[in-house]
Structure 1
Amino acid sequence: MDTQNPSAPTRAPGRIPADVPRAGIVHENVRHHSHFTVVGNHLAQHRELSGLAIGLGVHIQSLPAGARVDVRTLAARFPEGTSRIAAALRELEAHGYLRRERHRTPDGRVRTRTISCNRPGATPAPEEPRRQQKPKAKPLTVPHPEHRPSPTTLQAATDLLVGLHRADARLTLSRRDAERLAPGVVAWFERDLTPAAVRHTLTRDLPDDRPVRSPAALLAHRLTALLPPRTPAFGTPAPPDPVRHPLHNCDTCDRAYRGPEPGCCPPCRTAPRRT
């Protein structure tokens, strides 16, 4: 009966390339194209941080802005208890990888904000804080109504704007944008345009199969650039018709002329008299 040697290699070892170390770790790397985080070796190979602190530091740097990194949240994510996680967070804070700042919210409460530093001691580039800040909404310039509109008129204008997505899904507006654009629609109402006419003007001739990056900006432009002229107000008196005098025969030349009274025609009245 044949016996098998479990220690025998399944195949002959190949020749080791010259650039591969004969001992220690060998890396088999594949390039990441998404879902990756760049971590400095100063953290990954830190000589004074514990392994748990290094792991938490890498985990925190991989989280999106706004994620919770308090002790209870991290303890629910990892098997280590709250005491070990709290100690690891203190390590990261002592070496500058975490910073805690207290700030007051608009409602008067004091909150603690945790800041993760991927390179302690370095000053962030000016474009980095700007990139992290939420961009402010650009002001929308629209025509202003001549008179202060009633709440009912403003509501009708807002509802018209909110419903534009039924004509074209690219014109979907938030409630806030619709309320900012509503005074411009009211200005159109003051020019005796019906809601159907306003809706048709705002939705016609849109580019086919092209995305609309900012529907609010597009509508603000159309409300301003396509604003029709103001129509005359009701009750404005019409200019009087020109006066048409009756016909008369001139007493001198017997020619017909128009005038308020009979007598001589204008040429005969101005002709010099014969003596």
Structure 2
Amino acid sequence: MDTQQNTALARALTELPGPLPARGVIHIAIRHTDRFTVVGNDLAQHPTLSTTAVGFAVRIQSLPQGTEIGIKALAARFREGEKLIAAALRELEAHGYLQRARTHLPNGRIVTRTVFCNQPAALLRPRIAAAPPQLPPAVPQIPAPQPPEQERPVRETAAPQAPVPPDVQHDHEDDHAPLDHTPQGLGPQVLAPPHQAPFVPFVPLVPPPTAPKPPRPPLPQPGELTPQLDRAATALLGDLRRHAPQLVLSENDIRHLTPAVAAWLERDTHPDTIRHTLTSDLPQPLRHPAKLLKHRLTVLLPPPLPGPQELAAHTRPRIAVTPFQTCDGCERAFRAPTPGNCRDCRNAHGPAQAVAA
């Protein structure tokens, strides 16, 4: 008796047409009349987009035009953090739903314009001009009245006519009679419109990415892969899964990435620093650990440590400092290159010495 029953839901289930499925979801579709957004199944059931990216795509699609959809603007509007929002926007941008481009304003400022498309695949699909509507063959179309003879346009190309046999006399009185070129036995035909719009090929608003991508930088290689460097690099890569469970590498991946780690070790990089660089701030979810490690080992490679000669070349010259001296007359400290009297004692004894002389 204490179990609450939703009578409205039970009544809605009884009104559904047809037998209900024995298992699985049952949809109660109530038609929206206001405040709704149409979302296609190509987005809602996208095979590679994450659920977070699909959710943010629906949220962005429901916002009015002109709303800011940057990372900080979405983080202020929704409860998700900036890292999760940035990862979702990168997914949508990689699949063509979101595009960001820099635009120069007339006043000289540069702004970032964000464009969201609910069907990016439709932009690349060629559009075919719609054909004029055709009537059913059973319904004949009444031909348009012909203009008067003096206003009838001159036909540029005459239709080919069959040769007239010599025994058939041609009646010149029928020259002005309308000619009927309709083949016999085909019945009434549908007349084509006199002025049909020419076919214009569809030019997509967003052209496909045809520009060649720049080549990726090669994987770093050490100057000499010694056995000590090889063992240390292999052990460091195999130990990464203890610090980040997502970084499970195969033996082939470890063998391929070992020279890059050896190049880091050759440049006097501490193993803890390499481990922190490879395991911190991992994307979620991580689908290709080896590719991520290859990218970080290549892009974040530190420069070699400078030697003593490079450091000595950039040292500043030492400035000569005048030492302190003790005045022989008043024993006060003053700066001077040699011992003697201070300025006050020299000024005081100067006139007396001149008079005595």
The TM tier, using the shorter chain, reads 0.3 to 0.5
Give the TM-score normalised by the residue count of structure 1. Answer: 0.39
Give the TM-score normalised by the residue count of structure 2. Answer: 0.31
